[in-house]
């Protein structure tokens, strides 16, 4: 008998190993260096224009200039003086009152316009959105000058109109009304900015939520109150924080109106104006640095309090 021999199966030939001359660690190092090179301009400008000036201001706030002895280390004496300074306290309390009155009105109007635009029931929505946003594009200096002309008791159109009908000129620039006049200017400037933030947040809400609510019989107002506003809570909080910071940093508008209303707006009307007067008019740079740092602490505390209250309200709901 003949024996048949079956050949053994051929072993698969492994693919050739291609060795690269470039090492992985060199590639990762090059990518890291590229990322650092792109971030370097921002980091350099951030350090040069923010970190170093803040550090130098903090250094100045710990010293005091004296006629005898020159610059001496004062520790926290400048901060204690600022806390006991009635002009600084009054300016902070004045801006707190401005915050309580102006910010809810401004954000309420911005939310109303954002909801109206999001509803899709307005004609020419792009034109309306542009018209509301345009005041934010106008520099605050130009806006203050323009409103100062409108408020003018001698040459302003409101005063001329009042005299035309036999009435006294409205006292927009009097001490009793100047805070409301400033609030009107700031509200006119920043409604469009906050409206854009809220409108963008509304555009990100899934439309299926509206469809489900409509099938359940909810109307436009119930959808807005129970779906839209809770969904943009984070955007609202962002606008509130920006408004808090902007309120305590108010400077351009009162500084320019002080030229035509010196009896109503003093050099310490706002904390920023007070720090500016101390540094550039009274030449008290060290004390002005301490006032500026205390103002920063006030902004941080108020912003944190607003965020904490919002989080507690969200947990309860």
Q: How confident is the model at residue 145, as a pLDDT?
A: 93
The model's pLDDT over 222-238, given as tens digits with 9 standing for 90+, comes to: 888 888 998 899 999 99
Give yes or no for residue 153 having a pLDDT over 50.
yes
pLDDT of 316 higher than 90: no
18 pLDDT more than 80? no
CA angle at 93 for the pair 90 and 97, rounded to the nearest 5°:
135
Helix (H) or strand (E) holding 110: helix 86-119
As a whole number, mean pLDDT of residues 23-27 equals: 63
Q: Dump pLDDT digits (tens) for 293-306.
A: 999 999 999 999 98
Element housing 297 (H / E): helix 285-316
For 88, the enclosing helix (H) or strand (E) is helix 86-119
204 has a pLDDT exceeding 80 = yes
pLDDT band for position 217 (50/70/90)? confident
pLDDT digits (tens, 9 = 90+) for 28-39: 788 888 888 999
Residue 301: CA count within 13 A, CB half-sphere? 8
pLDDT of residue 290: 94
207: exposed, middle or buried (C-beta count within 10 Å: 0-12, 13-18, 19+)? Answer: exposed
Task: Identify any residues that bridge with 63 across adjacent strands, giving them in sequence order.
Answer: 73
- The Cα 227–Cα 81 span in angstroms is 50
Name the more confident of 29 and 67.
29
The pLDDT mean for the chain works out to 87
Provide DSSP, 119-183: HT-SSSHHHHHHHHHHHHHS-HHHHHHHHHHHH-TTT-HHHHHHHHTT-PPP-TTSTTTHHHHHH
Q: What is the pLDDT of residue 149?
A: 92
- Tell me the three state secondary structure of residue 67: coil
Inter-residue contact 82 to 287 (CB < 8 Å): yes
Please, how many CA atoms are within 13 Å of residue 156, restricted to the half-sphere of its CB? 19
| Distance from C-alpha of 155 to C-alpha of 234, rounded to nearest angstrom | 45
What pLDDT does residue 1 have?
A: 47
Separation of alpha carbons 213 and 299, rounded Å: 40
| Structural domains of the chain ordered from first start | 26-61 (no CATH), 77-316 (1.10.3720.10)
User: Could you tell me what percent of the chain has a pLDDT over 90?
Assistant: 59
Residue 183, number of CB atoms within 10 A of its CB: 20
Residue 65, classed as helix, strand or coil, is: strand
What one-character-per-residue DSSP string does 213-270 give? HHHTT--HHHHIIIIIHHHTHHHHHHHHHHHHHHHHT--HHHHHHTTT-TTTS-TTSS
Residue 169 burial (10 A CB sphere; 0-12, 13-18, 19+): middle
pLDDT at 20 over 70: no
179 backbone φψ class: left, alpha, beta (φ>0; ψ -120 to 50): alpha
CB atoms within 10 A of CB 195: 26
């Amino acid at each position: 008998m003949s024996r048949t021999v079956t050949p053994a199966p051929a072993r698969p030939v492994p693919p050739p190993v291609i060795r690269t001359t470039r090492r992985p660690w060199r590639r990762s190092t090059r990518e890291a260096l590229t990322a650092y090179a792109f971030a370097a301009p921002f980091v350099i400008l951030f350090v040069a224009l923010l970190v170093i000036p803040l550090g130098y201001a903090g250094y100045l706030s710990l010293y005091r200039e004296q006629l005898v002895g020159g610059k001496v280390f004062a520790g926290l004496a400048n901060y204690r003086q600022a806390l006991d300074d009635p002009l600084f306290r009054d300016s902070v309390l004045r801006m707190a009152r401005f915050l309580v009155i102006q910010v809810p009105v401004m954000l309420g109007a911005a939310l109303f316009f954002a909801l109206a635009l999001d509803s899709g029931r307005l004609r020419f929505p792009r034109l309306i959105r542009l018209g509301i946003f345009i005041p934010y594009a106008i520099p605050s200096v130009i806006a203050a000058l323009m409103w100062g002309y409108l408020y003018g008791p001698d040459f302003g159109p409101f005063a001329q109109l009042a005299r035309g009908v036999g009435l006294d000129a409205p006292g927009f620039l009097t001490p009793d009304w100047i805070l409301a006049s400033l609030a009107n200017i700031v509200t006119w400037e920043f409604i469009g900015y906050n409206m854009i933030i809220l409108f963008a947040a509304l555009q990100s809400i899934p439309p299926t939520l509206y469809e489900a609510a409509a099938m359940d019989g909810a109307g436009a107002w119930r959808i807005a109150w129970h779906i839209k506003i809770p969904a943009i809570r984070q955007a609202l909080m962002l606008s509130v924080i920006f408004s808090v910071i902007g309120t305590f940093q108010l400077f351009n508008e009162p500084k320019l109106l002080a030229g035509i209303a010196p009896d109503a707006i003093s050099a310490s009307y706002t904390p920023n104006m007070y720090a500016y007067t101390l540094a550039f008019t009274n030449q008290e740079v060290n004390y002005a640095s301490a006032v500026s740092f205390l103002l920063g602490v006030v902004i941080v505390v108020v912003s944190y309090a607003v965020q904490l209250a919002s989080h507690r309200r969200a947990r309860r709901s």
